[in-house]
Structure 1
Amino acid sequence: MSGSNQVPYLLRAARGEVLDRPPVWMMRQAGRYMKVYRDLREKYPSFRERSENPDIAIEISLQPWRAFRPDGVIMFSDILTPLPGIGIPFEIIESKGPIIDNPIRTLEQVNQLHTLEPDESTPFIRTILQTLRQEVGNEATVLGFAGSPWTLAAYAVEGKSSKDYAVIKHLAFTQPEILHAFLGKLADAIAVYLCHQIDCGAQVVQLFDSWAGQLSPQDYDVFALPYQQQVIRQVKAVHPDTPMILYISGSAGVLERMGQSGVDIVSVDWTVDMADARRRLGPNIGVQGNIDPGVLFGSKAVIRDRIIDTIRKAGNRGHILNLGHGILQRTPEENAAFFFETAKQADQLLAAT
C-alpha cells in the first residue's frame, strides 16, 4: 500500500478541497467496452454470478484500475442486489435485463417484506469492498453504490425495465398509499445497505435514482425526493463524514431538487451545461460529470477540448470529472485511455490554453 498516510485524491475533492485538477472515474467503467471483461463474461455468462461471486466481482472492478488508473474504483455490482434480502427475488437475463416474476402491486406484498441483514443476504459485499481497499491502497478512492427508492420501486412494481413507467405511475396516482409504504421500506433497507458498504470499506457512496428523471417536478417532490432524503439522513446519522453522490438520468428539470436531497455532490448528465449546473446548485454542493459518453467516439482533439471546457466551467473545487452517464459499449478502449490520461494532465492543459 503506497502512500498510506495520504488521503485519496477523489476523497479530497469530495470533501471540497481546492485541487490542481479534478479526480476522474467513469460510470460503468468496468464493463462491455473492455475486451478483458467480454472474455470473462464468456466464461461466466450469468450476471448474478459475475456480481455476487467475490473473486469475479473483484477482478472486474479492478480491470479498469489496472488499465487506466482512475482516481475512483467502484465495486462491480447491480442496484437490484439488495432486493432478495428484503424478499424480492429477481433474475437478470442477458439482453433483456432484470426480471421480477412477482411484481409488488399490493399492500399485503409490501407488509410481507422484511428488514435487510446485509451480512446474511449479501455476504459477498464485505469481501469485495475490503479487498478493493487493500488492492488500491490510497492510490484511488473505493466507491460503493445503491439504487434509490423510486428507481428500485419502479423495477419491483413494473417487474422489468420500462419505457413509459405506466404500471408504477398507475399505482402512484390511484393507490399512492401502497407506493408510499413500499418506498419507505425501501429507503430503510437502502440506508442499512449503504451503511454496511461504508463499514466494509467504501469511502464514497453514490445513490442512483436513474428513473426519477421520468417524474414531473411536482411528482418528484412526492415520490422521489422525500425518500432520497430518508436514505441520506439515515446514512449521515451513522457516517456523517462519508461523502454521498446522487445521480439521475435526464435530470435537467429537477437539478435544484437534487441539491435538496442532502447529498454532498450532484452527478450531472450532459443535458445541462456545467456552468449552468454550478449556478443552479449553488456554491455548497459539489458536482460530478458531465461529458456526453458519445464524445468518446470522437477524435482526441474533440475529447480533449470537451474535458478542458467541462473542467473550466466546473472550477477547481468540488468537481469530480466523469461522464454524464455510463460509458457506451462500443467505445474504443484507446479513447477511454486517452480520456483518463488527458484528465490527469488537466492542470497543464488549462495552463497552456
Structure 2
Amino acid sequence: MGVSSSDPLLLRAARGEVVDRPPVWMMRQAGRYMKAYRDLREKYPSFRDRSEIPEVAIEVSLQPWKAFQPDGVILFSDIVTPLPGIGIDMDVAEGKGPIIASPIRTQEQVDNLRPLEPEESLPFIKTILQSLRQEIGNKSTMLGFVGAPWTLAAYVVEGKGSKTYSIIKNMAFSDPTMLHQFLGKLADSIATYVRYQIDCGAQVVQMFDSWAGELSPQDYETFALPYQKRVFQQVKQTHPDTPLILLVSGSAGLLERMALSGADIINVDWTVDMADARARLGKEMKVQGNLDPGVLFGSQEFIRDRIYDTVRKAGNRGHILNLGHGVLPSTPEENVKFFFETAKQISLTAAV
C-alpha cells in the first residue's frame, strides 16, 4: 500500500508514518456525557434501537464528530452486537451493560452455535459504516470495533458483567476443553466480523479484550492470547494493510504478552506510565492512550499538562492520543472539547 498524504491523520499514524501532531479520539466519545445523546435516548430508550437502526446509529456516531472533529469516528455499537447472529440472544441494559438470556454452560449449547454470516444477521452495520465513511471523507478515520473471544465468552458464560468472573473461571479451570471449543468458535466469527467491517468501510479496527486483565499472566496465555492471535491472523490473511488495535483493561502486567497478539497498536491504560510502556513494548510497537478518564474532571491547566506529558513520553511517532479507557458519563462536555482543542494544537516537533 502506497503512502498517501491525503489519507486521514489517524490512519497514517496507525501505519507508523511520521505526522505533524498526534491524532486524537476518545473511546465512548459518542454517548452519555453528551447532551445531544441524552436527548436522543429519550426518543429511543432501547440501546439496540440506537445502535441497530441505521439512521439513529449514524446520528449518534456523528454527534462527537460534529461537536469536536476528532481524528477518529467510531461505529456506535456494542461488543455483543454480533452474538444473536451466532445463536446467542442478548440485550444491553441501560447502565448495566450486556445481559445474556440463556448463559452458555453446556457442551450442547456450544455445539449448537453457528458461524457468523454478517450479511444476513448484521446488514445494518454495512449501512452505518458506509454512510459514516461517506460523511467524514478523508477528514477523519473510520474506526470499527469488536469484542475479543475471552471477553465475549465472559459475558456469555456469566450472563452479564461480573466482579469476580467465578463462573467462567470455574469452566476454564474445571472444563477447559469445552471453553476452548467455545473460544475457537467465537474467534472465527469475530474474525469474520472484523473483515466485514473493513469491507464496509472501517479503516482501523480495535478489539476490546476488556476482561482479559482479570486473568493471571499464565491464564492470559492460555485463554486470551491464543484467540486474540487467531482473530488477528485471519484478518491479516485477507486485509494485511488494516491497522488493528488491542485493548485490555488493567493491562500493566500484560503489555509484553499483548504485543505477541499480532496487533499493530497496543492500547495503554493509565495504570502504567506511558514512558514505561514505550520502553517495555519497544520502539517498533505503536501505542494508543493513555490519560486517566478522571483527568477530564480536573482544571483545564491540569488537563493540558497531562496531555503534553503523555505526548512527550509517547514520542513523535506511532502514537494515537486517547484516554486509557472510555470517557465517563458525568464528564463535563466543555472539558472534552478542551481536550480535543488542546491535542490539535500540539506540534510533535515542538512538543517532543
TM over 0.5: yes
CA–CA distance in structure 1, aligned partners of residues 294 and 187 of structure 2: 33
Partner of 1:121: 121
Q: Tell me how far 1:97 sits from its aligned partner.
A: 2.2
Partner of 2:75: 75
> Share of identical aligned residues, percent?
73
- In the TM superposition, 1:1-353 aligns within 5 A as 6-347=6-347, 351=350
Q: Deviations over 1:205-246 (max 9, x none)?
A: 000000000000000000000000000000000100000000
CA–CA distance in structure 2, aligned partners of residues 95 and 9 of structure 1: 33
SS at 1:258's partner residue? helix
Gaps of 5+ in 1: none
CA RMSD of aligned residues (A): 1.2
SS at 1:253's partner residue? coil
Q: Deviations over 1:289-321 (max 9, x none)?
A: 000000001111000000000000001110000
Q: Deviations over 1:248-303 (max 9, x none)?
A: 11001111001000010000100000000001111221000000000001111000
Q: Tell me how far 1:95 sits from its aligned partner.
A: 2.9
Q: Deviations over 1:45-75 (max 9, x none)?
A: 0000000000000000000000000000000
Whether the aligned pair in 1 keeps the contact of 2:308 and 2:351 (CA below 8 Å) is no
C-alpha distance 87-332 of structure 1, shift in aligned 2 (>3 A):
same
- Residue 44 of structure 1 aligns to which amino acid in structure 2? Y
Whether the aligned pair in 1 keeps the contact of 2:58 and 2:76 (CA below 8 Å) is yes
CA–CA distance in structure 2, aligned partners of residues 113 and 32 of structure 1: 33
CA–CA distance in structure 2, aligned partners of residues 176 and 58 of structure 1: 40
Q: Deviations over 1:69-107 (max 9, x none)?
A: 000000000000000000001012223322111111111
SS at 1:232's partner residue? helix
Whether the aligned pair in 1 keeps the contact of 2:312 and 2:351 (CA below 8 Å) is no
CA–CA distance in structure 1, aligned partners of residues 35 and 18 of structure 2: 36
CA–CA distance in structure 2, aligned partners of residues 132 and 298 of structure 1: 32
Whether the aligned pair in 1 keeps the contact of 2:146 and 2:208 (CA below 8 Å) is yes
Q: Tell me how far 1:108 sits from its aligned partner.
A: 1.1
SS at 2:294's partner residue? helix
Gaps of 5+ in 2: none
Q: Tell me how far 1:5 sits from its aligned partner.
A: 7.5
SS at 1:326's partner residue? coil
CA–CA distance in structure 2, aligned partners of residues 95 and 304 of structure 1: 30
CA–CA distance in structure 1, aligned partners of residues 231 and 320 of structure 2: 22
Q: Tell me how far 1:21 sits from its aligned partner.
A: 1.1
CA–CA distance in structure 1, aligned partners of residues 41 and 25 of structure 2: 22
- Residue 320 of structure 1 aligns to which amino acid in structure 2? I
CA–CA distance in structure 2, aligned partners of residues 159 and 40 of structure 1: 28
Q: Tell me how far 1:351 sits from its aligned partner.
A: 3.0
CA–CA distance in structure 1, aligned partners of residues 321 and 91 of structure 2: 33
CA–CA distance in structure 2, aligned partners of residues 134 and 123 of structure 1: 17
Q: Tell me the TM-score normalised to structure 1 length.
A: 0.97
Q: Deviations over 1:111-152 (max 9, x none)?
A: 110011001101100000000110000000000000000000
Q: Deviations over 1:167-214 (max 9, x none)?
A: 000000000001000000000000000000000000000000000000
- Residue 114 of structure 2 aligns to which amino acid in structure 1? H
CA–CA distance in structure 1, aligned partners of residues 92 and 137 of structure 2: 32
